[in-house]
Amino acid sequence: MTDQRLLLRAIFDAAVAAAHPAHILGDHLPPAPRGRVICLAAGKGAAAMAQAAEQHYLDKLKLDPQRLVGLATTRHGYGVPTRRIEVIEAGHPMPDAHGVRGAQASLDLAATATADDLLLVLLTGGGSANWILPADGITLEQKQRATKALLRSGAPIGEVNTVRKHLSRIKGGRLARAGAAAAEIVTLAISDVPRDEPSAIASGPTVPDPTTLEEARAIVARYQLDLDDAVKAALADPRNESVKPGDAAFARSRFEIIATPAQSLAAAVEVARNAGYEVIDLGADLEGEAREVAAEHARMAREARAADKKLAIISGGELTVTVRGQGRGGPNQEYALALAQHLSDLHGFAALAADTDGADGGAGEPTDPAGAIIDANTFARIRELKLDPAAYLTNNDATGFFAQTGDLLLTGPTLTNVNDVRVILV
| CATH code for position 203 | 3.40.50.10180
Report the alpha-carbon angle 285-355-364, nearest 5: 125
**286, 412: one domain:** yes
In this structure, the answer to whether residues 277 and 410 fall within a common structural domain is yes
Query: What amino acid occupies position 164?
Result: R
CA 173/CA 188 separation, integer angstroms: 15
Q: What percent of the chain has pLDDT over 70?
A: 99
Please state, as a whole number, how many other Cβ atoms lie within 10 Å of the Cβ of residue 311: 21
pLDDT at 181: 62
In a domain, 273, yes or no: yes
Boundary-marking domain end, from 227, 259, 291:
259
Check whether 155 has a pLDDT greater than 70: yes
Residue 301 has pLDDT above 90, yes or no: yes
| Same domain for 63 and 36 | yes
Same domain, 417 and 307: yes
Dump pLDDT digits (tens) for 13-25: 999 999 999 999 9
Q: How many domains does the chain have?
A: 2
286 and 251 housed in the same domain: no
223 phi and psi, to 5 degrees?
-100, 5
Q: Which domain holds residue 415?
A: 3-12+262-425
* 222 occurs within a structural domain: no
Report the distance separating Cα 414 and Cα 384, nearest Å: 33
Residue 180 has what pLDDT? 64
In 3D, which of 93, 95, 143 has the Cα closest to residue 318?
93
How far, in Å, CA of 87 to CA of 102, rounded?
A: 9
Is the pLDDT assigned to residue 318 strictly greater than 80?
yes
Report the alpha-carbon distance of residue 423 to residue 426 in Å, rounded: 10
CATH code of the domain covering residue 418: 3.40.1480.10
pLDDT the model gives residue 363: 79
Asked if residue 180 is part of any domain, the answer here is yes
With a pLDDT cut of 90, the percent of the chain lying above it is 93
| pLDDT classification of 154: cutoffs 50, 70, 90 | confident
Domain limit, last residue, from 195, 229, 259? 259
Residues 191 and 316 both lie in one domain: no
pLDDT of residue 194: 81
Confidence of residue 179 (pLDDT cuts 50, 70, 90): confident
Same domain, yes or no, for 75 and 128?
yes
Per the domain annotation, does 140 fall within a domain?
Answer: no
Q: Model confidence at 2, in pLDDT bands (50, 70, 90)? A: confident
Let me know whether 172 and 302 are in one domain: no
Q: Are 284 and 265 in contact (CB under 8 A)?
A: yes
Q: Is there a domain that residue 339 lies in?
A: yes
In a domain, 215, yes or no: no
The pLDDT tens digits for 42-101 are 999 999 999 999 999 999 999 999 999 999 999 999 999 999 999 999 999 899 999 999
Mean pLDDT of the chain: 95
| Same structural domain, 28 and 125 | yes
Residues 317 and 194: their CA atoms lie apart, in Å, by 6
Say whether pLDDT at 281 is over 90: yes
Residues 222-251: pLDDT tens digits?
999 999 999 999 999 999 999 999 999 999
Residues 199, 298, single domain; the answer is no
- Picking from 79, 72, 65, the residue whose alpha carbon sits closest to that of residue 37 is 65
Average pLDDT (347-375) is 93
| Whether the predicted pLDDT of 116 surpasses 90 | yes
Alpha-carbon span 169 to 149, nearest angstrom: 20
Q: Looking at the DSSP assignment, which residues form a beta bridge with residue 184? A: 118
pLDDT bin (cut points 50, 70, 90) of residue 1 is: low
Output b/e per residue, 35-70; b: 16+ Cβ within 10 A.
Answer: ebbbbbbbbbbbbbbbbbbbbbbbeeeebeeebbbb
